[in-house]
């Protein structure tokens, strides 16, 4: 069960400052809990505390940082059901998906504990000419300093973890703003971090309104901004971030190709999951499906049948596959996109109806590529189908997008797989599976409007550290 009231965490300490943030059950609409909202002066205190903690964090021995992360892994396991239930309520995430996210949370902190011990430097021979005789160099990575993190609503635990865990591993204090619609997961991470011996000020976890969070972007005391969320917001933040490096993970309209040589039952099963798990609210959810014309009719028939059979309803029911969208406004927005596509000539294959936050799993075909449901990020339970004849052409069709996060290619043809990897303008190409596939130690991120930089613990730690060179002169050589 959820508590009725949660704190925020300011400089490692729980603070019950107010009850201004109302957290609702996304399925029933009932008030589930309350938490405080941080004001700009609280953010200022948190940044100051992080600056004060920076030296202690940088000097914290590797084994102590590992112990913090390992403690979190142990406590996440002990509180597994509580964490999953919180996701189910605050995000409307079907309970099986919620349990999967808790498993990934554990994985992410485990990987970070391991990577703490892998921050290697290298030696560099410098004597490339006579003037450099007797000189050698070596490098190491040092913490960048206090970091600002902003995480989204759709993976309240694991996307926060992808910022928090590498920061601890790298030795960086941080201030995290979780999504106001889904703050409980991040607050529970804070509750467990508060049990550790992190230096005072090493972390603050502060839900706040977007218009109160300007310091996270603009304050020069913060040395890195890492944001996961919508493209429009992300690029605005980058423009205001000043000199600090910025990492952006901004989503997309992921494409999936099914070639004629692939087992259709397998492709349908994976695409059903990729398009509709957690109501399609994933930045790498399958949105555009291209199927070879030779198998298109059979594939479509199987996919429509499986989609119609998906159970919608209460996310607390283990049989539920389609739960609510995050808000009625988001469900209404996507419902409007579906209706616009149909009005413009698209064929509705199944779904298309909405009741409150519940939008049916929807498939469309004959959708003009300029329609929002195809060209923009749907972020909901809808996918569009189209046949293709020529693999080269479908590569160009996929690239005809302002996004480029991941793509999935179901093919047994080695050369087509290589071509997809060579030519698709995306951050990752998944062969034999959906673009929605991710494990938490791989480099993950996109190009074009899908963002900047890569997450995945080792790559995040590179962003959270700086390379420092030492040159040594031996005058006796």
Q: Which residues contact 309 (CB under 8 A, 6 or more apart)?
A: none
Q: Which residues contact 400 (CB under 8 A, 6 or more apart)?
A: 369
Are 92 and 27 within 8 A, CB to CB? yes
Told to judge if 51 belongs to the known catalytic residues of this protein, a careful annotator would answer no
The Cα 363–Cα 299 span in angstroms is: 13
Element counts in the chain: helices (H) and strands (E) = 15, 24
Beta-strand ranges (E) seen in 371-463 are 382-388, 403-404, 406-410, 428-431, 447-448, 451-452
Instruction: Tell me which residue of 108, 212, 222, 127 sits closest to 168, measured CA to CA.
Output: 108
Told to judge if 423 belongs to the known catalytic residues of this protein, a careful annotator would answer no
Are 90 and 26 within 8 A, CB to CB? yes
Are 334 and 393 within 8 A, CB to CB? no
The Cα 159–Cα 151 span in angstroms is: 6
Catalytic residue (one of 70, 90, 101, 249): 249
Catalytic residue (one of 256, 283, 374, 462): 283
Q: Which residues contact 78 (CB under 8 A, 6 or more apart)?
A: none
Buried b (16+ CB within 10 A) or exposed e, 68-98: bbbbbbebbeeeeebbbbbbbbbbbbbbbbb
Buried b (16+ CB within 10 A) or exposed e, 369-401: eebbbbbbbbbbbbbbbbbbeebeebbebbeeb
- Max CA distance (Å), the chain: 82
Tell me the catalytic residues: 249, 283
């Amino acid at each position: 069960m959820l508590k009725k009231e949660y704190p925020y965490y300011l400089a490692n300490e729980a603070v019950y400052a107010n009850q201004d943030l109302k957290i609702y059950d996304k399925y029933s609409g009932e008030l589930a809990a309350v938490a405080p909202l941080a004001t700009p002066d609280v953010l200022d205190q948190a940044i100051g505390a992080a600056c004060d903690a920076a030296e202690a964090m940088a000097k914290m021995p590797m084994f102590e940082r590992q112990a913090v992360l390992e403690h979190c892994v142990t406590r996440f396991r002990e509180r597994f059901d509580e964490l999953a239930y919180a996701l189910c309520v605050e995000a409307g995430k079907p309970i099986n998906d919620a349990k999967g996210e808790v498993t990934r949370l554990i994985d992410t902190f485990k990987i970070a504990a391991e990577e703490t011990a892998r921050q290697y430097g290298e030696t560099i021979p410098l004597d490339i000419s006579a003037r450099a005789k007797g000189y050698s160099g070596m490098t190491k990575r040092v913490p960048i300093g206090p970091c600002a993190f902003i995480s989204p609503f759709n993976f309240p635990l694991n996307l926060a973890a992808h910022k928090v865990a590498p920061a601890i591993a790298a030795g960086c204090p941080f201030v995290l703003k979780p999504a106001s619609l889904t703050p409980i997961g991040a607050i529970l991470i804070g509750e467990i971090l508060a049990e550790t011996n992190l230096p005072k000020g090493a972390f603050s976890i502060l839900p706040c309104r977007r218009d109160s969070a300007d310091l996270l972007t603009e304050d020069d005391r913060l040395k890195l901004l890492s944001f996961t969320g919508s493209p429009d917001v992300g690029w605005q933040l980058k423009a205001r971030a000043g000199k600090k490096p910025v990492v952006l993970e901004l989503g997309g309209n992921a494409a999936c190709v099914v070639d004629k040589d692939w087992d259709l039952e397998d492709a349908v099963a994976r695409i059903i999951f990729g398009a509709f798990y957690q109501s399609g609210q994933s930045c790498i959810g399958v949105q555009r499906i291209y199927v070879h014309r030779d198998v298109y009719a059979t594939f479509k028939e199987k996919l429509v049948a499986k989609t119609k059979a998906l159970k919608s309803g209460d996310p607390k029911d283990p049989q539920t596959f389609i739960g609510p969208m995050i808000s009625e406004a988001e469900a209404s927005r996507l419902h409007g996109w579906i209706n616009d596509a149909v009005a413009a000539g698209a064929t509705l294959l199944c779904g298309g109806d909405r009741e409150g936050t519940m939008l049916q799993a929807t498939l469309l075909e004959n959708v003009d590529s300029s329609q929002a449901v195809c060209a923009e990020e749907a972020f909901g339970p809808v996918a569009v189908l189209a046949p293709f004849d020529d693999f080269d052409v479908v590569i160009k069709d996929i690239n005809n997008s302002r996004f480029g996060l991941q793509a999935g290619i179901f093919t047994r043809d080695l050369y087509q797989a290589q071509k997809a990897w060579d030519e698709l303008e995306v951050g990752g190409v998944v062969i034999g599976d959906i673009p929605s596939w991710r494990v938490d130690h791989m480099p993950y991120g996109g190009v074009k409007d899908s963002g900047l930089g890569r997450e995945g613990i080792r790559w995040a730690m590179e962003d959270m550290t700086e390379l420092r060179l030492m040159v040594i002169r031996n005058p006796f050589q």
